[in-house]
Structure 1
Amino acid sequence: MRKSIPFIILALISFIVGCANISTPQGGPEDETPPVLLSSVPEQGQTNYQGQSIFLTFDEWVNTKNIETDIIITPRVTGSFKTRVKKNTVELSFFEPFRENTTYSVGFGSTIQDITNNNPAQNLNLSFSTGAYIDSLTISGNVKTLLDQEPAEDALVALYFANDSTDILNGVASYFSITDTLGNYKFVNLPAGDYRLYATNDKNNNNKADSKDEKYGFYPDTLQLNSNLEGINLTIQNLNTTELRKLSSRHFGAYYDITFNKQLTDFQLVNNENLSFQPVGDDKIRFYRNGRNYGDTLNLIYQATDSLEYVLQDTVKLYFTDSKVEKADFTISTVPNRSQALPGDTLVFEFSKPLTDYNLDSINITIDSTQTIDLNSDAFKFNQYRTELNTGITLTELLTRQNPQMNIYTGRGAFISADGDSSKVIEKAYNFTESSETASITGKVTTDAPNIIVQLLSASNKAVVRESYSKDFSFQYLPAGRYMVRVIDDRNGNRKLDIGNMLTQELPEDIHYYFDSYYQTKVIEVRKNWENTDTNISF
């Protein structure tokens, strides 16, 4: 009987330990309730706080997520902090003391979550002061991306003191805010003073803007904060302010390439050498030998221009070497690339390499296989790089209901490239289009702006389909499809969008879209034999 006592004791201990194990309850409704803040040190709105930590107590056990990177403390603190989580409490211990007589605002975002279902605490913000009062001024507004005028969600909005020598490109701001899903932001608990405002999409989370890879924007005027400011809106866009420079100039296979550190908008030869060249991508210019002797050196002077209208003039020693690397293919396409000819369509050939010669006898254009169209080379117009040839032939002047089809045939060797390539056979047919097979979009722009650009965009890829410079615009003979109408306030009248320059405090030109308030959309959908009128825009 005495020998059974240890066994009974062990069984009793095992039962007690088993009952003490914590496990996730099975079944029942999913926990969707976020943790609630019960108390904090310092308290919300507390003044004369002299501590060096923030201590939060919640109504349930919590954990943190990316709190070191996602928490927003303004004005920015010196040094960093250490986080300690214990059950339902979170403590942030700062390595450096808070500044004297300063109001701090702490936005926790989604950094604190419950441990059962990762529900983040909602609207968790804390304000306190190390001085005798809480600063209470605010600045609020909206941030959009320039080209599509859509809200810039999760953009970093940065506020600098006006006397700060840094800006969003080269220094960290004193105050930060993050835009919501509608692009709205708000700074709270600000002291009176003068400020400068910037915004960026901050993809690398370094609290600054990288002008080469990130969108950013600025508010042009100094903000004098004596009372709450609302409606301080700005746009962000890609604008590389890096000084234009040449990265390399060297031969590549049979070619000679000059590569730059950023996108070019123009490239010209200064010493008027008879050379064939073209852009390859946004930042490279490729030269072709075009019969020059291998090893011969030419001192080439050029001018390259970037989007800021900065012009770089430089000299390179251009030469070519024999290479066994295969040359790129010589390809040709026709524009329009669809088979239906619409009013205004002009026959254009596009080439993958600069063109050096062509043979008119090898280019044959016929109407219904009976009438031959004579080509007039005097009407030919090449682009700067001779990679595009406008024939001057308007398709719909030749196509009629009685003669509904045009056939284009170019024989082998009709075109010769700067690489010495001969073109292959090309065949293309265009058909007459009845006006009833097309659609139109017309409207009016009401504005005091003297110069505007009205752009018809494809809704799918935002490519510009047509342009008009009239406030009463009409886009006729459109294929059925989905479109948008965008209006640019062309302040300088140069008939192109200028996206500004932060270095010179030049704002981008304003952009406005047609918006259907009934259907709540920018998209205009048209079908065959459809007229969309009253596409009106006011600003």
Structure 2
Amino acid sequence: MPKEATIESPMIISAEAHAHQCFFRIACWALMLIALELLTCSCARIMAPEGGPKDTMPPKLIKASPMQESIGFKGKMIKLVFDKEIEVRDIDNKLVVTPRLQKLENEPSYTHNVRGKTLKLTLQAPLAEGATYTFNFNDAIKDITEGNVAENPVLTFSTGDHIDAMYVTGQVKYLMTHQPAAKVVVALYEANDDNLNILNSPPDYFIKTDEEGKFKLDHVKKGQYYMYASTSQENQLTVDLGADEYGFLKDPIDLTAVPVDNVALYILKADVREFKLQAQQPQGPYFELRFNKPVVDYTLNLVQKSKRFKKNPTLYSHLVEHKQIIRVYNTLGLLEEDSLEAHLTAKDVVGTVIEASVTIHFGERRNQNNPASYTFKPTAGTAIAPDFLGTMTVSKPVKEVVEDHLFFVFNGQEKVHIHTKDLQFNAQRDVISIKKRLDPKMLVPQKNKNKKSEAEEGLVLQMTEGAFVTIEGDSSKAMR
């Protein structure tokens, strides 16, 4: 028995040792696989070094082809090389080329390609002979890591034997406020162009003003130029008389001998399109006269009176939709087969007058269910003067006012009523002016031990429900 025991004991110890060795090998392989996975993930993830300063340096142009201010360029390729890797964003809208490149019918004037630190432009449109070109990239070029914008990425070269040296500087302001007009297009047109029309002709030279409205148009060919400024977009470069603010110099500027400095341009919005009455027809429960531009003043008087009306009827109307529509209300109870003749006189912002005969008739009578809305000036919290002047604008003409529902409250207690003699309506009865002489003592906040809140001190204008009733029966809501 002891002999058998001595034989079995070594076999048991060997099995345990073998198990430990297998476990150790498996653990080693597992650790190696984990380490390899971590190494792979760290290699695949590109990250900026931690702890170092943020890169704030913009890309710097170190090489250009053609070279800056070189002459005699006849190529089709423009190449810019920077000191760091770059990317280009929205180049079609941000790159400004003067004189403008020819617009092609079936392809763009140029294409671009970025690889690493290099930007290449391939010109599809031909360059003019003997012209000085300026390619201004503005903020289209940025570095690929932090998005730092390249500074002054401007390239100038000539296809002739010299660089044009004429320039014009100045400032653009808004005419009504004299405030600087920022990001406004300033453009030059050759004065000898007999077919010039700023409404459909792009300029020969253009640039955008800075935040102070200042500009410098550089490298201009010698000659005489008409000059204008407008809020049109760079990718349009033509003036929309109905939407843009614009201004121009009456006479050409002379750049035949010396540059011109400190030109003052003023812009404003003046829609000089032909004033037209575009349509006159029933629209829902209304009759509407539609114009192609805003109306600043009008009259609409009945010339044919029905025997149904014992005295002169009142025809209610007012301007809606940005003042381009005169809306007439059927307050006379006309049926679909009824009609009235009226005389229209309408005037636009530049003083053009339209006179026309109008046949007023209505379609199906149905309620639009559009409750009246109103705004009041001055707004809450505005200081009130003893000679109070306020205005209320209503979305529909007002038919009547209930005196007892409109008043000032002094110190949360005393009421000062506003009477009809204190109210003045405009011709369309949708704007009400309130004029009231107030006791100056009421304008000074008083101590009130019984007040519930700070809002109850001083003078407050209040309007209870039903103070105004529109021609469609809407009652105004309470207001404070």
Query: What is the TM-score when the length of structure 2 is the normalising length?
Result: 0.71
Q: What residue in structure 1 maps to residue 272 of structure 2?
A: 241
Q: Give the equivalent residue in structure 1 for 2:261.
A: 230
Q: Secondary structure at the match of 1:232?
A: strand
1:187 maps to 2:217: yes
Partner Cα separation in structure 2 for residue 76 and residue 192 of structure 1: 16
SS across alignment from 2:215: strand
What is the alpha-carbon distance in structure 2 between the residues aligned to residue 400 and residue 52 of structure 1? 75
- Which residue of structure 2 aligns with residue 207 of structure 1? 237
Q: 2:327 aligned with 1:286, yes or no?
A: yes
Kindly state the Cα deviation for residue 289 of structure 1 after the two structures are TM-superposed: 1.3
> In the superposition, relative to structure 1, how do residues 371 and 380 fare at CA in structure 2: closer, same or farther (>3 Å)?
closer
SS at structure 1 position matched to 2:93: helix
Identify the match of residue 130 of structure 1 among 159, 171, 174.
159
- Which residue pairs with 2:181 in the alignment? 152
Q: Match for 1:175: what amino acid?
A: Y
Distance 1:392 1:99, change over 3 A: closer
Aligned match of 1:311: 353
Change (3 A) 1:22 1:305: same
Alignment of 1:275-424 (within 5 A): 275-281=315-321, 282-295=323-336, 296-330=338-372, 342-345=385-388, 352-356=395-399, 381-388=424-431, 394-396=437-439, 417-419=470-472, 421=473, 423=475
Give the whole-Å Cα distance in 2 for the aligned partners of 1:364 and 1:63.
Answer: 64
Aligned residues of 1:254 and 1:327 also touching (Cα < 8 A): no
Partner of 1:268: 299
* C-alpha contact (below 8 Å) 1:153/1:181 kept by paired residues: yes
Q: For the residues of structure 1 that align with 2:140 and 2:263, how far apart are their CA atoms? A: 28
Assess if the C-alpha contact under 8 Å between 1:113 and 1:119 holds in 2: yes
Letter in 2 for 1:26: P
Q: Give the direction of change, closer, same or farther, for the CA distance of 1:343–1:102 in structure 2 (3 Å limit).
A: same
State how far apart, in whole Å, the 2-side matches of 1:373 and 1:120 are.
63
Q: 3-state SS of the aligned residue for 1:186?
A: strand
Structure 2 unaligned regions, length at least 5: 1-39, 104-108, 305-313, 445-457
Paired position in structure 1 for 2:449: none
3-state SS in 1 of match to 2:68: coil
1:76 Cα deviation (Å)? 1.0
Alpha-carbon distance, 1:153 to partner: 2.7
CA contact (8 A) 1:196 1:223 kept: yes
Specify which structure has the higher proportion of strand: 1
Q: How far apart in 1 are the matches of 2:477 and 2:116? A: 77
In 1, Cα distance between the equivalents of 2:408 and 2:158?
83
SS of residue matched to 1:257: strand
The separation in 2 between residues aligned to 1:358 and 1:266, in whole angstroms, is 25
Q: Distance in 1 between matches of 2:285 and 2:263?
A: 55
Deviation per residue, 1:256-290 (Å, 9 max, x gap):
22222222111112556741111124212111111
Higher-Rg member (1/2): 2
Percent identical residues: 27
> What letter corresponds to residue 266 of structure 1 in structure 2?
D
Amino acid of the residue matched to residue 384 of structure 1?
Answer: A
Q: 1: CA distance between counterparts of 2:406 and 2:113?
A: 80
- The equivalences for 1:85-96 within 5 A come to 85-96=114-125
CA contact (8 A) 2:71 2:157 kept: yes
Matches of 1:248 and 1:364, distance apart in 2 = 40
Q: Which moved more, 1:269-278 or 1:228-237?
A: 269-278
Q: Is the 8 A contact 1:63 1:114 kept in 2?
A: yes
Q: CA deviation at 1:370?
A: 10
Q: Secondary structure at the match of 1:181?
A: coil
Change over 3 Å in CA distance of 1:381–1:83 after alignment to 2: closer
8 Å contact from structure 2 (residues 191, 224) kept in 1? yes
Q: Give the structure 1 partner of residue 88 of structure 2.
A: 64
- 2:249 aligned partner: 219
Amino acid aligned to 1:192: K
Within the alignment, does 1:43 sit opposite 2:72 as a pair? no
Gaps of 5+ in 1: 1-16, 429-539
In the alignment, the residues of structure 2 paired with residue 333 and residue 115 of structure 1 have an alpha-carbon distance, to the nearest angstrom, of 51
| Deviation of 1:55 (Å) | 2.1
| CA distance in 1 between partners of 2:124 and 2:415 (Å) | 87
**Aligned residue pairs, count:** 406
Distance in 1 separating the partners of 2:118 and 2:459: 79
CA contact (8 A) 1:365 1:372 kept: yes
Partner Cα separation in structure 1 for residue 65 and residue 374 of structure 2: 72
- The answer for the alignment partner of 1:102 in structure 2 is 131
2:57 counterpart residue number = 33
The question of whether the paired residues in 1 share the 8 Å contact of 2:345 and 2:353 is answered with yes
SS of 1:230's equivalent in the other structure is strand
1:507 aligned partner:
none
Q: Which residue of 2 aligns with 1:453?
A: none
Change (3 A) 1:370 1:89: closer
Give the secondary structure class of the aligned counterpart of 1:126.
strand
Distance 1:188 1:22, change over 3 A: farther
Distance 1:97 1:370 in 2: 81
Q: How does 1:425-504 map to 2 (within 5 A)?
A: none
Mapped to 1, the partners of 2:303 and 2:217 lie a distance apart of 56
Question: Amino acid of the residue matched to residue 234 of structure 1?
Answer: L
- Where in structure 2 are the equivalents of 1:510-521 lying within 5 Å? none
Amino acid at match of 1:172: P
Structure 1 residue 178 corresponds to structure 2 residue 208: yes
Q: Once the 2 structures are TM-superposed, how far is the Cα of residue 125 of structure 1 from its aligned partner?
A: 1.6
- Cα deviation for residue 172 of structure 1 reads 0.5
Q: Deviations over 1:451-484 (max 9, x none)?
A: xxxxxxxxxxxxxxxxxxxxxxxxxxxxxxxxxx
For 1:208, the aligned partner's letter is: T
> Which secondary structure does the structure 1 equivalent of 2:260 belong to?
coil
- With the length of structure 1 as denominator, give the TM-score of the two structures: 0.64
Q: Is the 8 A contact 2:319 2:326 kept in 1?
A: yes
